[in-house]
Every structure is written in structure tokens, then in C-alpha cells.
Structure 1
Amino acid sequence: MKIAIAGTGYVGLVTAVCMAEKGHHVACVDINEGIIKILNSGKSPIYEKDLEALMLKNKDRIVYTTDYKKAYKDAEVIFIGVGTPEKKDGSANLSYVYAVVDQIAETVENDCIVVVKSTVPIGTNDKVEKRLNENKKNNVKIDVVSNPEFLAQGTAVEDTLHASRIVIGSDNKHAEEVMLKVYENFDAPILTTNRRSAEMIKYASNDFLALKISYINEIANLCEEIGANIDDVAKGMGYDPRIGNRFLKAGIGYGGSCFPKDTKALHWLSNFHDHELKTVKAAIEVNEQQKLRLIKKSRKYYDSFEGLTVAVLGLTFKPGTDDLREAPSLVNIPIFLEDGAKVKAWDPVGIPNFKKLYPTEIQYCNTIDETITGADICFVFTEWDEIKNYDTSKFQKFMQKAFILDGRNCIRNDKGNCIIERIGGI
């Protein structure tokens, strides 16, 4: 089929490449000429496993362009995969979605399906359809479908090609049949429902996972007080198939582009409808507090970071991505700097993005050895394999004092040669 996709971020670009992999002809649209130039050079503007390889493999079926008029005018299906960042009040900013909607209304010359893949508040698809029909320039039929994404950064390609489920929210049979054709070569269970249910499935899923993370973090914090070990507790819980073992890894909180904004957006929406989701509100509050957990632990050793050399291992919010959004490093490093610490940082892929925020204030290092050399204390914010497999004897060898604050419970201290503070027990 002839498909156009608005957006070249995690959702838009990954969707475009995976649609091409399944045999569709895709035009990937972005208003940023710089990004399109990067894509046309065969490079990806985001760090994502397998993405560039699939871009190369399917280069004859993908066009990257800023010319939305040409891309949309005769497309059979147009996916909207642009960002919906949070506003200051926690609600979703839909300006990018509506900008694309207006471009589509101005441009399309044939009947088509507009698919909202961006995460949007419940009822947005109805508003999109109304706006399209009120503003379309040509006498065409435009159906709107909700088709939320369930990808995770770091595994986005795999999550799209081998999805846990495909949700199609449509209010008419024709649109549903077209979408089933779009996904006929995808090996995944498909749920067809109405648009509002599809929109809610996305929020309910993400917020449930955020709840699970905040819950295990609260249990971990209590384990520290009562002498229990959170790793064993989580393992014991995970054997129960009703609970499962995923998202039971204690740490210093969730981050990224989805969980923080989606919990806040659903909480805002529930308040707007005078039906506050107290569990979601609690998950948000717990997560914000959890990001400072290591700072509190560090006070056992130092009242202030003034004059200290602080080593930071991991800048991104999770391994496998260069995304910094809502990363614990963004909360903690400013505190180190404000206190007067010298900060040395290492991350295998996140440094270029972090340099945009702190170009000169931090010493960026090429290796873990270099980062911890001369440090008085070390903070672990991301569980990269290089950190998990690091020889702990080197902490004692290279650091002034081998104090490690492990925010991801990923460092083993089998030799007992370091003082390691973990989340939720010894």
C-alpha cells in the first residue's frame, strides 16, 4: 500500500521503516530539513538498535521528505506519529498533531485513512475527524483510526515487527478493513475496538507499568528499613504468573518519553472529569521522590558535594537509547554542580545529547576507568552492560574512596572491596 507517515522520531521513523520492511511504499515526512538530510544520507537521527540496517535494506521503498503536499495528496493511509509532550499543567500538548491534521486537510486529493499513532488523550481522534472534515479542501472521504504504539526505546524495531498486540480503534467497518490490510503481514494478535477504547488502552497500559515500577520502588525503600533484600522479594513475587517478573526491578525511578508524560496526562484528564485516579497520582509522586533516593543515601558519607569529585556512570534514562528525557541524571547532576562538585561522566551513547545541556560544566570521559579515577563517590544512573560487567576491584584501585551509589542494583560486589549502597537492601 502507499503510506505516508508524519514524524521522524521514535514512533514515526520506526513505524515507517517497519512498514517498508513489510512491503509497503512509505513517504516519511518531517518539517526539519536537517533531519531529512540526515535520513537521506542513510543515517538515523536517533540511536535505536537495528534501525539503520533496516533503513538500508528498504531504501527503495522509503522516501524521506519535507514536501508534505506531495506525500499526502494520494496516500492511501497517513499515519500521524509526532510528539505529544506534556504542558506545564501535565496535560498533553496536541499542537504538533493538529498541525499535521491541517496539512492533511489542505492536501489530500483521494479518499484515505488517517491513523493517529501518537499517544493522545481519550476523545482526540473524534476531534481530529471533525477538524479534517471541517477544513478539507477537496471532496474526499477521510476516516480516522486510532492505532496506538507499544514500542519501548532500545527495542523499538523488535517491538514493532513482533508486537505483543496491534490495537485498531475504528468507528466504521471500511476503515477497520483497510487497517487489517495494512497489518496483514505482521505476526501479532490484533484487537479491533472503537477509537476511545483504543486511546484508553494505550494510557491504561503505560500507566499500569509505571504503577508497577513505583510500587516495587516503595517496597524496596521499606526493605532497607526492615532488613529485607528487594532482589529476593521481587524474585519471589515474579514467580507468581498473576504478577510476572517484568517491571519489578527496583531503582531510582522511571524516565523516558512515555511513562512520565502519560501518567501526568491521564491524571490531568481524570481530574478534568472529576474522577481522580489516586493510584496514578501516587505513582507520579513516588517516582519524583525516588529520583533523589541516592542523594539522600550519599549524606551518610558527605554532608555536601562541595570540593568533591563525583563520578557519574550512565546519563540516559535506560540502556539501549541515547534519550535523556526524564533521566535521573538530569535531576541529580545539577545538585552536584550547585553544591560545588567536580563532575566526571561516562555513557556509551548519551554524551552528545548531554553536552547540548552542559557543554563545559562537566568532564566527559571515554571509559569507566577514566571516569572514576580520583573520584570521591560514584553514582550509577543507567544499567549499561559495560557497568554491570565492570571489575569492581577497579573502584578501590582508581577512586579516592570506593563509595558507589548504585541506582540500578546492577553492580555485584562479590569481593567485598567497595562500599556499595543499593536500592532496597544489601
Structure 2
Amino acid sequence: MGKYFGTDGFRGEANVDLTVEHAYKVGRFLGWYYGQKKPEERCQIVIGKDTRRSSYMFEYSLVAGLTASGADVFLLHVTTTPSVSYVVRTEGFNCGIMISASHNPYYDNGIKVINERGEKLEESVIEEIEKYLDGVIPEIPLAQKDRIGRTVDFAAGRNRYIGYLISIATRSFKNKKVALDCANGSASAIAKNVFDALGAETHVMNNSPNGLNINTDCGSTHIEHLQKFVLQEGCDVGFAYDGDADRCIAVDENGNVVDGDSILYICGKYMKEQGTLYKNTVVTTIMSNFGLYKAFDREGISYEKTAVGDKYVYENMANTGNCLGGEQSGHIIFSKHATTGDGILTSLKVMEVMLEKKESLAKLASEVEIYPQVLKNVRVKDKKAAQDDAVVQAEVAKVAESLGGEGRILLRQSGTEPVVRVMVEAPDLDTCGNYVDQVIEVMKAQGHCL
């Protein structure tokens, strides 16, 4: 990770960590970078945004920088991150930009850059952007005369994405009552249209964004509200999205949460049965639940584990050809259809399994026993020293041996804070908590904790 860009773009509090000057300079660089790659062609870049109040400010700043460097900018307006990815790769744009801070509160925002293949931008280009932001790269030329860029309303691109989603469904959703929590975010512009078009009886909540209520006590990070709503409305299933709709968490007809791990199992098993799961393998992250792996083992499904972040999941999929991967948090990637996590697409694929197998979501999810998990964040003086300490590692090994095949322990450094995360999964919460505390006590005794 760089100074500005993390695993999911340049993110921070608007006008504090991420300013209009930053956005302008990112636009200046991208317009110049892609413009000089093929100087005989007009550079074309597409921009989408979520519903945060500051998204308009950053959109205009990016547009100013891009057009000043000679790029033509196509505006999707309020849309989802996966829709930007889709439009870039199907419409021949040089790159795409999504203005969003995903599941963060409204006062944060971010800039995600997507390459011409619809994938997250290469680290080598991100490094060059950061050098320009820091003044290491000299000032780049301004476009002049007829080389100055322009903006184009491109709401049609978002509509084509909606049509694409509708085309993916294998059956009508008629007679299915579906609840959607749009998190007062990007899904508000798309999700209901898709489900209505497919014939569902759609019940929507948190679908009235005002710039300040995105992710506020709603969406995939506050799933308890959708749980109540599904029961209240008597729905067959519910889906909750985050601010930019690249993740999805489901709720079954009984109000129980079906997270990303369970969705990976449900879809992975179905795809194996259909003969469409490449090498019978699903890509997970190291944070996926132990119960998921036991269920995969039972079904003869192989799995790979990556670092935390859908970026790393997709990198694995691109390198291996694996076609299904994702995270517990609800970032699920179906590589046949998308190059990023797509919350609305994920909900359509869950509906497909329910309809094709004629089974309820509760029945499908019941085959995975999600193990209790305790995770504690330990603030330390030096996270690498704390994690690599031989005495600490010996204690971790001791816990792992005690758990045997009935659980696991994970010690992981935070990518953004002076924190080491200690996580244990086991058949019961007391066992989890006791083992986590046991390791933390050793870290304290070794003098690592603040």
C-alpha cells in the first residue's frame, strides 16, 4: 500500500485527508497518462459516484483535472462501483473512476481507479500517481486549443449495465417477495429497477439518499434492520448492500444472516453441481470462517486463501482461472460476469440457486455450520515485532495444537493501524475467548502492548 492509495483506492475524510486539490491532481495525472499512451486518439475516461454530499465536489475536481489534461469525461452520475467496471471494459474507455468510500460514514470519501480491463488499477501506475501528488514528477503539460477535454452525460451507460444485470437472471422472480436495503447509497439508483423488471414483489428500505445518510445505521454493516424488515414484510429473502454496492449480505426468510462465506458455499456447491466451477475451487481470504472450509471439504470443493481484500481475491482468480471468490464481508466475484465484487449481481446469483433448486435460503445456508469467532485488536508498539516474537508464535502454535481439527487461530497485522488482530474460531464462544486472551497475555508479558 502507498502513502495515499490503500487496497481500495485513495480514501479518507473529505477535505481533511482527501481534498479537492488531491482529486484535481489525480485527474490531471490520469488524463495526461492515458492521453500520451495513444496521442493520436482522444483519451476517454468514465466517472461514477455514490450519494455522499462531497461526491459532487470531487467529481467536479476530477473533471477539471482530466479535461485540463485533454481527456473527455463521461459522467455516469450516481451509480455503483461494479457498473463503472462494466462500462469501462465493454465501452472501450481508457480507464474509469469511482468516487466512493464504500461502507465508510458519509463524511469520508474516496477515489477508486479502474483500468481498461475493468480491474483495479495496477500498483505501478498508482506509484506514479503518488509521485505526482508529492511533486516528485515534474508538472505535466496543460492541453491547449482543441485538445482541451469536455464532459459528456453518459447516464445511458448505467442503463446498459442495468440491462446487463437483468439478462443474467435465469428465471423470473414472479411470486417472490424480496427485501432490499440500499444503504441510502449507490444501489438506490439501480437495485429496485432490476428486481422489478424480473417480476419480484420488491420491498425497499433505506432508498432515499440525502447526501448525509449513506451507510448511517443501514445497509450491509447494520444488517439487523433488514432482519427485522424481512420478518415484518413476510419476505422470502432480503439483500443488503453497502454504499457503493460492491458487497452483499443476505437474510433468509426466518431473519437469519447469510454472510459472504455462506454465499460462497451456496453458489460454489451449485456451480459444482452444474459443472461450471473451474477446478472445483473457490477463492477465499484468510478471514473466511473455519466452518466454510469444513463444508467445502465435505462437498469435495477445493479452496485457496488470499490476504484480506477483494483486490487480492481477484488477483488470484485472474492468475489461476478460478471463477468464484470472495470475502466474508460480502465482496463476491463471479469472474464470468464481472471483474469486481458486485452486490446486486451476487443477489441475483443467490436468487438463481433458490429458484433452480426450488429451496429456501434458510435450507441452502443450513448446510454450513458457521463457527463462533472472537477477534480482538491489540494496540502494540511495533506490530511486526509483536507478530514475529518467538514466544508469541510458540503460544499461537500451542493454541493451534489444542484446537486440532476443531478450530483455528489467526494472528494478523492491521494494514492501517498499530494493531495486531488475534482471532480464534472454535465450537463455542468461551473456548474462543479463552484462547484469544491467552495469546494476548503472552504479548503483554513480552512487552509489546501499549
TM-score (norm 2): 0.27
TM-score (norm 1): 0.29
